[in-house]
Amino acid sequence: MLIEKGDGVYQLEKLSKLSGISHGFSSRLLGDLRLVNNDRGEENRWKFASLTGVRIEDLVFARQVHGNRVVRVKSKDRGKVIDGVDGLVTNNLGVGLFLRTADCLPLIFFDFQKRAIGVAHAGWKGTLGKIAENTLKSLKKNFGSKPENIWVGFGPSIGSCCYDVDEERIEKFEKAFGRESGFYRKRVTKYFLDLSFINYKQLLRLGVTPEHFDLSATCTKCNADRFFSLRSDWERFGELKGEMGTVISLTGNK
């Protein structure tokens, strides 16, 4: 469940009670966090980082491409922008993993046994490409993580209440995941995709235990007054007004 921490920062309730990590999701209140060359974007990212207990110079940014590539980052990568990736993992203390979203689903991972973390950007293309599975595989490959020891948090994203897609896209998901009931809803002639459910079921099958999920259940389009939403912004303004940040880092507490 998503809870408001104040000053434009939200956290997941269960994960906020775990020792060893710091995490957060920004809102419209903190402004646009896109990786563009302007002073305001840098200022907004600095403020968000500080509110989540991470120094901006310790952040590692993913230059997302709506793909399924996940890479390991180390302390030497602090301050870098990693091109062409949609997932990051690390076991280095204090390194902040940073993503941007504005309807896509941000996923955060925490292995409480091996002390490793990850983030993944799961839009429809990344979800179709199994970015969540690739993140688990990267945690296992790099740190020996086991799914049953991993917590997974789902940040705010567009829900099946608002995410209407065409039938061709539904067919792609049926081909990849089967005709499982629940990953979309049909209302009259429209199909509504549920990215959270697809990623949840995928991770559940891979061995993440039901008790180790923390789902925000917050639709960005329904709550466009609080969160940036690509669909809402295009409908209202004809352009995307900004993107939110997701960050997670390992702290010194165990």
Q: What is the pLDDT of residues 88-131, one digit of tens each?
A: 999 999 999 999 999 999 999 999 999 999 999 999 999 999 99
Q: How far is CA 100 from CA 32, 182, 184, in A?
A: 10, 27, 25
Q: Which residue from 249, 251, 247, 196 is spatially nearest to 25, judged by alpha carbons? A: 247
Q: What is the pTM of this model?
A: 0.96
Residue 38 has pLDDT above 80, yes or no: no
List the beta bridge partners of residue 249: 22, 96
Element (H, E) at 78: none
46-50, 153-157, 185-189, 224-228: segment of lowest average pLDDT? 185-189
3-state class (DSSP) for residue 37 = coil
Structure token pair of residue 247: 């960050």
DSSP string, 213-253: EEE---BTTTTTTTS--HHHHHHHHSS----EEEEEEE-S-
pLDDT given for residue 179 in this prediction: 77
DSSP state of 79: T
pLDDT given for residue 39 in this prediction: 53
Cα 212 to Cα 152: distance, rounded to the nearest angstrom: 6
Cα 99 to Cα 26: distance, rounded to the nearest angstrom: 11
- Mean pLDDT to the nearest integer, 145-173: 97
**Sequence spans of domains, the chain:** 2-250
Q: Which residue from 110, 199, 243, 217 is spatially nearest to 155, judged by alpha carbons? A: 217
150-154, 156-160, 228-232, 250-254: segment of lowest average pLDDT? 250-254
Share of the chain above pLDDT 70, in %: 96
> Parallel, antiparallel, or unpaired for β 2-6 and 9-12?
antiparallel
Answer yes or no: CATH 3.60.140.10 is held by domain 2-250.
Answer: yes
177: confidence class by pLDDT, cuts 50, 70, 90: confident
Query: Half-sphere exposure (CA, 13 Å, Cβ side) for 111?
Result: 26
Q: Which residue from 66, 112, 109 is spatially nearest to 88, judged by alpha carbons? A: 109
